[in-house]
């Protein structure tokens, strides 16, 4: 039995004024559509038929684009990882991890460590949590250089094993789904780095509040790799396998910022320099600090609808020209 949540209020602002995001949904609108009926062992065969239609919605009030039919926040462990690997073609969950993957994460981890250190976010002995920490490189650097007390989560068992070995302790846990039980760590954190989680969360408000509640006084949340769909949807290659089933909110900068403000954060955008500038323009990084929830300017439904319409047009052209 697959549980489905039919969302009838905006996941960000709670408004009941919603519009369908697309006139009709086909294989372009979910990456599950191109899978044959053969699912990984242990996954209910009804999974694909249950989620044939995502029921994409746009909030008339704040402009957030989100999946109207989605799994619940918790209880996804039997299918989340195997379906993610199958549908998004993630082949690196092998032990030992592929060398090129480890090299890539070592380079990325060093850059991220530099960015956070430069902004004074890694103090001596800081308690740090990295969600989707991959090989745990950021945590390893913070532990070795700053005596940080480090914790992590990742979706892939091979990454969890690799990270724990690199750290020499058992601090990295397996993520069972996109709403981690952070309070299980039993620690309040000075720094939480949340890698591409808010886009994935089945209940983004719940996740944002969990993260907020897990920060120590004066602590900071850094959200990274959250796609700005106002930019990413402009590529002819965008969502060429169909919209990623695991993306439940398709944010733009405007809607991400307004959602996070509603959930009780004040945001500061981190811009990249040199070669990283373009990546950070499309895949947003923010320092988020606790504040009172505010209802400032939001995105607009018309703008979100326009983005999706031009993406659909581009997909049709790309398919006609067989660009991808």
Number of residues in contact with Zn ion, rule: CB under 5 A? Answer: 8
- Using CB under 5 A, which of 2, 5, 15, 209 touches Zn ion? 15
One residue of 10, 116, 126, 182 binding Zn ion per CB under 5 A = 10
In this complex, which beta carbon is closest to Zn ion, that of residue 13 or of residue 138? 13
The smaller minimum CB distance to Zn ion, of residues 50 and 300, is found at: 300
> 81, 29 in Cβ contact below 8 A?
no
Task: Give whichever of 13 and 129 is closer to Zn ion, judged by the CB atom.
Answer: 13
Contacts of 97 (CB under 8 A, 6+ apart): 135, 158, 159, 162
Smallest distance, Zn ion to C-beta of residue 18, A: 8
* 301 makes contact with Zn ion (CB under 5 A): no
Q: Does 300 bind Zn ion (CB under 5 A)?
A: no
12 binds Zn ion (CB under 5 A): yes
Asked whether 9 and 15 are in contact (CB, 8 A), the reply is yes
Burial of 65 (0-12, 13-18, 19+ CB in 10 A): buried
CB of 61 to Zn ion, least distance (A): 5
15 or 164: CB nearest Zn ion: 15
Beta carbon nearer to Zn ion, 59 or 267: 59
Element (H, E) at 266: strand 265-269
One of 28, 29, 57, 61 touching Zn ion (CB under 5 A): 61
Antiparallel, parallel or unpaired: β 56-59 and 18-20: antiparallel
Q: Give the range of 6-14, 43-51, 130-138, 176-184 binding Zn ion by CB under 5 A.
A: 6-14
Burial call 150-189: b when 16+ CB within 10 Å, e when fewer: bbbbbbbebbbbbbbebbeeebbbebbbbbbebeebeeeb
Question: C-alpha 64: how far from its chain's center?
Answer: 15
Q: Does 33 bind Zn ion (CB under 5 A)?
A: no
Q: Is 58 in the site for Zn ion (CB under 5 A)?
A: no
| Interface with Zn ion (CB under 5 A), residue from 13, 131, 166, 230 | 13
Which CB, 31 or 304, lies closer to Zn ion?
Answer: 304
Structure tokens of 29? Answer: 């609108």
Is the bond into 96 cis (omega within 30 degrees of 0)? yes
Neighbours of 278 (CB within 10 A): 11
- Rounded to the nearest whole angstrom, what is the least distance from the CB of residue 255 to Zn ion in the complex? 8
Residue with Cβ nearer Zn ion (18 or 166): 18
Candidate list 18, 21, 39, 59; residue touching Zn ion; CB under 5 A: 59
**Tokens at 192, concatenated:** 């939480």
127 contributes a contact to Zn ion by CB under 5 A: no
| Helix H or strand E segment including 212 | helix 204-213
What angle (nearest 5°) sits at the alpha carbon of residue 179, between those of residues 175 and 185? Answer: 60
Please pick, from the candidates 18, 32, 39, 62, the single residue that binds Zn ion as defined by CB under 5 A: 62
Q: Which residues bind Zn ion (CB under 5 A)?
A: 10, 12-13, 15, 59, 61-62, 64
């Amino acid at each position: 039995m697959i549980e489905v949540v039919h969302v009838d209020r905006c996941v960000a602002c709670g408004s009941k004024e919603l519009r369908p995001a697309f006139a009709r949904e086909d294989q372009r609108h979910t990456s599950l559509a191109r899978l044959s009926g053969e699912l990984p062992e242990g996954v209910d065969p009804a999974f694909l038929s249950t989620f044939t239609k995502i029921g994409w919605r746009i909030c008339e009030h704040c402009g957030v684009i989100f999946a109207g039919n989605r799994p619940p926040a918790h209880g996804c462990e039997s299918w989340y990882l195997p379906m993610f690997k199958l549908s998004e073609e993630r082949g690196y969950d092998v032990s030992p991890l592929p060398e090129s993957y480890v090299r890539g994460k070592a380079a990325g981890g060093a850059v991220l460590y530099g960015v956070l250190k430069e902004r004074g976010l890694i103090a001596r002995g800081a308690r740090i949590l990295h969600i989707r920490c991959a090989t745990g490189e950021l945590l390893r650097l913070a532990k070795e250089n700053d005596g940080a007390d480090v914790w992590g989560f990742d979706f892939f068992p091979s990454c969890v094993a690799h990270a724990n070995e690199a750290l020499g302790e058992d601090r990295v846990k397996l993520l069972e789904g996109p709403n981690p039980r952070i309070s299980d760590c039993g620690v309040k954190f000075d720094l939480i780095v949340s890698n591409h989680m808010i886009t994935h969360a089945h209940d983004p408000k719940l996740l944002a509040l969990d993260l907020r509640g897990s920060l120590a006084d004066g602590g900071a949340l850094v959200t990274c790799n959250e796609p700005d769909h106002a930019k990413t949807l402009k590529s002819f290659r965008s969502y060429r396998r169909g919209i990623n089933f695991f993306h439940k909110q398709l944010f733009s900068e405007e809607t991400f910022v307004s959602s996070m403000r509603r959930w009780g954060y004040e945001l500061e955008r981190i811009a990249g320099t040199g070669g990283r500038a373009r990546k950070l323009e499309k895949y947003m990084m923010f320092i988020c600090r606790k504040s009172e929830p505010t209802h400032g300017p939001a995105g607009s439904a018309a703008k979100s609808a326009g983005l999706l319409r031009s993406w659909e047009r581009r997909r049709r052209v790309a398919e006609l020209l067989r660009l991808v």
